[in-house]
Structure 1
Amino acid sequence: MTREEKSQVIENLTAQLAENTIIYLADISGLDAGDTSKLRRACFKAGVSLNVVKNTLLAKAMESSEKDFGELTGTLKGNTSLMVSDTGNAPAKVIKEFRKKSERPILKGAFIEEAIFVGDDKLTTLSEIKSKEEVIGDIIGLLQSPAKNVISALKSGGSTIAGIVKTLSEKEG
């Protein structure tokens, strides 16, 4: 690879790191061609971009990025694949599902909305992170609940009051 090609790859990686807030690093070494193809299909279905990268080029891209990747640069040893997604837990779910049939991929680390997770032991935690849409749905549900209770109380209270007034008016007459 020439210097120009390397600098172009670094520029592309830097742009990819700048454009995305959900970045996972995984080790997929040891997967044969068939399993790698299955993993790529699973990633595609989940909306996850999977690219095998050279550690030195990714490290340079991380350094030139405006984001602070902290301890993640220390995980750049051996085989590294870059997984990028719009949903925080999608890559973790793909890895977890794929690991039911295989020992790989192994999670090296993740950068999610400026939070850094290092190590394969964080996989379960990352797979349980709610997506932005799920959190918004939960918040809307919580906000609607008190309003529904008030409306329900007013409706039932209104019929009770109407019943009492009707009964009282009938007794007086």
Structure 2
Amino acid sequence: MDRREKEALVASLRERFDEATSVVVTQQKGLSVAQSMELRRKARDAGATYKVAKNRLAKLALDGTKFQALSPLMTGPTALAASDDAVAAAKVCVEFAKKNEKLTIIGGSLNGELLDEDGVKALAALPSLDELRGNIVGLLQTPATNVAGVLQAPAGQLARVFGAYGATDEAA
């Protein structure tokens, strides 16, 4: 990798860190190419990115960003998962680490706040942004459904009363 390629990699990583809400630092010792590709695919499906980069280049990319506190974690064979959704990167990494002991979560950061391994696991346990939006829509629709049911009940009762009076008048 020549100097221009390294500069381009650092620039693309820095751009990704500027856009991201959360970053997770992992170590992958002995992860096969197929396993790494599977992890990247899962991250992409969740709206996150998973990138293996040289620690020196990653530290340069982290410098000056809100995730600068992650620099000391960059030792050994590390990889970075970043996402715009606060929990997507953490969810993907934690779920993959449960199934594969070759991936270890070192730490992470949420909007510049440094997280240890337990913090990343707690972040992964939270519902995603889409799940929260669905819950809010459900909560907003529930009262409207209840109001419609309450408003329809008296009209139905009146219709049954009029139907009963109509039936008694016809019988008489």
TM-score class, shorter-chain normalisation, is 0.7 to 0.9
Of stretches 3-12 and 47-56 in structure 1, the one that deviates more from structure 2 is 3-12
Aligned residue number for residue 109 of structure 1: 107
Matches within 5 A, 1:7-156: 7-65=7-65, 68-69=66-67, 71-112=69-110, 114=111, 116-156=113-153
Could you tell me which runs of 5 or more consecutive residues in structure 2 were left unpaired when the two chains were aligned: none
Call closer, same or farther: CA 1:165–1:32 in 2, change over 3 Å.
closer
Call closer, same or farther: CA 1:117–1:167 in 2, change over 3 Å.
farther
Aligned residues with identical type, % of pairs: 31
Q: State the distance in 1 between where 2:37 and 2:151 align.
A: 59
Please, what TM-score do these two structures have when normalized by structure 2?
0.75
Q: State the distance in 2 between where 1:82 and 1:92 align.
A: 11
Give secondary structure in 2 for the equivalent of 1:51: strand
- Code of the residue aligned with 2:97 in structure 1: it is R
Deviation at 1:152, TM superposition (A): 0.3
Q: State the distance in 2 between where 1:107 and 1:159 align.
A: 60
Q: State the distance in 1 between where 2:131 and 2:112 align.
A: 19
Call closer, same or farther: CA 1:168–1:41 in 2, change over 3 Å.
closer
- Code of the residue aligned with 1:152 in structure 2: it is G
Deviation at 1:42, TM superposition (A): 4.0
Q: CA RMSD in A?
A: 3.1
Call closer, same or farther: CA 1:104–1:90 in 2, change over 3 Å.
farther
Deviation at 1:145, TM superposition (A): 0.7
Q: Contact 1:24/1:110 (CA < 8 Å) preserved in 2?
A: yes
Deviation at 1:165, TM superposition (A): 6.0
Q: Contact 2:23/2:67 (CA < 8 Å) preserved in 1?
A: no
Deviation at 1:155, TM superposition (A): 0.5
Call closer, same or farther: CA 1:57–1:6 in 2, change over 3 Å.
same
- Code of the residue aligned with 1:129 in structure 2: it is L
Q: State the distance in 1 between where 2:130 and 2:164 align.
A: 50
Corresponding residue pairs, total: 169
- Code of the residue aligned with 2:80 in structure 1: it is L
Q: State the distance in 2 between where 1:98 and 1:71 align.
A: 24
Q: State the distance in 2 between where 1:110 and 1:125 align.
A: 11
Q: Contact 1:109/1:116 (CA < 8 Å) preserved in 2?
A: no
Q: State the distance in 2 between where 1:51 and 1:97 align.
A: 17
Call closer, same or farther: CA 1:2–1:30 in 2, change over 3 Å.
same
Deviation at 1:9, TM superposition (A): 2.8
